């Protein structure tokens, strides 16, 4: 579904990503793990068109997409849930969700997807007329994920969905990520500091160090890998 070929990207004079090669197949959950500042968010933002690709290629369903704008990429089915949620605090829950379906015109489909996100997160249905900014951190994460789902993505990019959440909420968010993947065969690219939980729901994983992919393997093998255990799993 998505392929990065020798992607280089960065900010101003700083090159952050070096020759990134990465493949995501349709229906997979892929996780990208790495230390603070390794380049995880930059990788996601290069895919979603926010950080420009300086050289290399990104192919989505076989088409080159690395020169397209973020709104075009959303229309093609690539949606990112950014780190720190970035919901609209002064808009209600319902209005935040409407922003997610902004580019769509299929009323029936939008209604179906609204019912779906309310079934995933019933608390959002209860709070639909409440301002987004008044929700708890966990509820805001639910809203940010739901807003992305309202665009009916083929590929969902999740940047640190567990950040700053209580353990019980983290567990619930990871279960829902798995469910979203199963229910609609939504392909998921998950960036996480919480490598242990991420690898438990992922099919495969990549490790990024200083902007370079150093390891790529099945999630099962990564969980058993002693270097990974020491560096990222606290074992
Ligand atoms: P974290 O888990 O801490 O979010 P990360 O792996 O997602 O880390 P990135 O956010 O991709 O890392 O950052 C990679 C590097 O790029 C870091 O050195 C960071 O300081 C730098 N960087 C990130 N955003 C910018 C920016 N807007 N301008 C300049 N440098 C940036």
pTM of the model: 0.94
* Tens of pLDDT, residues 194-235: 899 999 999 999 999 999 999 999 999 999 999 999 999 887
- Give me the pLDDT at residue 235, please: 73
Whether 13 lines ligand 1, by a CB cut-off of 6 Å, is no
How many whole angstroms from 160 Cα to the centroid of ligand 1?
Answer: 13
Q: How far apart are CA 232 and CA 235, in angstroms?
A: 8
* Tens of pLDDT, residues 5-18: 999 999 999 999 99
User: What distances in angstroms separate CA 232 from CA 13, 60, 134, 227, one per listed residue?
Assistant: 29, 30, 34, 8
Whether 38 lines ligand 1, by a CB cut-off of 6 Å, is yes
Closest Cα to atom 23 of ligand 1:
42
8 Å CB contact between 33 and 198: yes
Whether 198 lines ligand 1, by a CB cut-off of 6 Å, is no
* Tens of pLDDT, residues 68-78: 999 999 999 99
CA nearest to 225, candidates 25, 216, 193: 216
Surface-to-core class of residue 8, CB atoms within 10 Å of its CB (0-12 exposed, 13-18 middle, 19+ buried): middle
Answer whether residue 85 shows pLDDT above 80: no
Phi and psi at residue 143, in whole multiples of 5°?
-65, -40
Question: Which residues lie below 8 Å from residue 199, measured CB to CB, with a gap of 6+?
Answer: 31, 33, 205, 219, 222, 223, 233
Whether 14 lines ligand 1, by a CB cut-off of 6 Å, is yes
* Residue from 7, 10, 11, 31 to probe ligand 1 pocket by mutation (most atoms less than 8 Å from CB): 11
CA nearest to 210, candidates 7, 10, 38, 18: 38
Answer whether residue 84 shows pLDDT above 80: no
Q: From the CA of 191, give the closest atom in ligand 1.
A: 7
Closest Cα to atom 1 of ligand 1:
36
Phi and psi at residue 218, in whole multiples of 5°?
-65, 155
* Tens of pLDDT, residues 100-132: 998 888 999 999 999 999 999 999 999 999 999
How many whole angstroms from 119 Cα to the centroid of ligand 1?
Answer: 35
For residue 172, the surrounding DSSP H or E stretch is helix 167-184
How many whole angstroms from 191 Cα to the centroid of ligand 1?
Answer: 13
Q: From the CA of 208, give the closest atom in ligand 1.
A: 6
Closest Cα to atom 9 of ligand 1:
39
């Amino acid at each position: 579904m998505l392929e990065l070929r020798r992607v280089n990207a960065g900010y101003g004079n700083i090159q952050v990503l070096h020759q990134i090669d990465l493949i995501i197949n349709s229906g997979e959950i892929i996780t990208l793990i790495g230390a603070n500042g390794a380049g995880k968010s930059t990788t996601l933002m290069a895919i979603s068109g926010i950080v420009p690709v300086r050289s290399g290629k990104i192919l989505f369903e076989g088409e080159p997409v690395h020169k397209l704008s973020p709104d075009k990429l959303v229309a093609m089915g690539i949606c990112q849930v950014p780190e720190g949620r970035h919901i609209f605090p002064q808009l209600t829950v319902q209005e935040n969700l409407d922003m997610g379906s902004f580019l769509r015109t299929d009323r029936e489909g939008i209604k179906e997807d609204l019912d779906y996100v309310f079934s995933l997160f019933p608390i959002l249905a209860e709070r639909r007329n409440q301002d987004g900014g008044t929700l708890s951190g966990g509820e805001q994460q639910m809203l940010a994920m739901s807003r992305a789902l309202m665009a009916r993505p083929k590929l969902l990019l999740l940047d640190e969905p567990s950040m700053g959440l209580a353990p019980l909420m983290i567990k619930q968010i990871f279960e829902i990520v798995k469910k979203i993947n199963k229910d609609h065969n939504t392909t998921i690219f998950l960036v996480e500091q919480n490598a242990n939980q991420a690898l438990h729901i992922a099919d495969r994983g990549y490790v990024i160090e200083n902007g370079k992919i150093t390891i790529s393997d099945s999630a099962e093998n990564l969980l058993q890998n002693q270097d990974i255990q020491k560096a990222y799993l606290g074992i």
